[in-house]
Amino acid sequence: MEIINLILVIIIILALFAYLREYILRQKLQKTGDKLLNDLKEKGWETLHQSITRSQDMLGQAELEGIKVVASSRFNTQRMEERYGEELAEIVRQAQQAINNSQTQFAAFINNLGQEAQSARGVSEKATQERINKLFGNLEERLSDFLVETSQKTQASIELELRAARALIDTYKQGQLKLIDENILAMMEQTLATVLNKKLSLADHLDLIYEALEKAKAEKFIV
């Protein structure tokens, strides 16, 4: 317990010592700072006074220079106005002259243009007429060719159609003739059958049958 108290007392003493040291150092620093500030303040005031004096001098000088400039500028302005007036009159005169020239040239140009247009129109009309004539010539030629070609094609087509129709008619005719032949044959068979049925005797029939048997034997149909 005593050791702890002793340690605490030592710590407190050390702390007090540190505080006092710090306090003394601060007091010293404050005195040095105050002195430095006072020096600076005096120097500042001096500098400010010098600056004000110099600026007043400069202002006076500037006012003087300004008055000189204004006077000079008024004079120059008047001179320039006069000069500009003269130059402007000269320019207006030149412009007038240029406009007059331009008008003359323009009128001449228009006149020339009219003549050229007239000439071009004549040439164009002539060319157009020539082209139209040529076109009509070509058209006539092509139309003639086309008509000839169409006529040939139509003729060929009609001939083909006619040939096909003739072939069809021939086929039909052949068919009909064949049919007629078959009918004639059928009629002949029918007539023969009717006639022979009445006219052929049994002996005749038997003779024909014997003949058929002989033929079958000759053909070796029945062996």
Partner 1 sequence: MNNILAIILKDTFTELQLKHRLKVLKSHLLKALFGGKEQFLSREDLNWLSSVSQTLQTFHKDNVYQILEELESQSSQLPLLTIYLPVASTDNICLQIASMARKTFQNPKIILSAKYDPNLIAGCALVWKGVYRDYSLRVKIEEKKEELLGNFKKFLK
**Residues found near partner 1 in the complex (CB under 8 A):** 181, 184-185, 188-189, 192-193, 196-197, 200, 202, 204-206, 208-217, 219, 221-223
Residue 174, CA distances (Å) to 1, 167, 170, 177, 181 in order: 159, 10, 6, 5, 10
* Identity of the residue, 81 or 211, whose beta carbon is nearer to partner 1 in the bound complex: 211
Closest distance of CB 167 from partner 1, Å: 24
Give which of 91, 87, 67 is closest to 79, Cα–Cα. 87
CB 183 within 8 A of CB 189: no
Q: Shortest gap between Cβ of 178 and partner 1 (angstroms)?
A: 10
User: Counting Cβ atoms within 10 Å, is residue 162 exposed (0-12), middle (13-18) or buried (19+)?
Assistant: exposed
CB 175 to partner 1: min, Å: 16
Q: In Å, what is the CA distance from 99 to each residue of 92, 96, 102, 111, 147?
A: 10, 5, 5, 18, 67
Least separation in angstroms between CB 176 and partner 1: 14
Closer residue to partner 1 (CB): 6 or 195: 195
Which is nearer to partner 1, 36 or 184 (by Cβ)?
184
Q: How far is the CB of 165 from partner 1 (least distance, A)?
A: 27
Phi and psi (nearest 5°) for 221?
A: -70, -40
Whole-angstrom Cα distance, residue 12 to residue 18?
10
Per-residue CA distances from 195 to 56, 183, 198, 201 (Å): 173, 18, 5, 11
Report the residue number, 135 or 208, with the smaller CB distance to partner 1: 208
Give the residue with the Cβ less far from partner 1, 3 or 222: 222
Minimum Å distance from CB 142 to partner 1?
58
Residue placing its CB nearer to partner 1 in the complex, 25 or 216: 216
At residue 200, the 3 state secondary structure works out as: coil
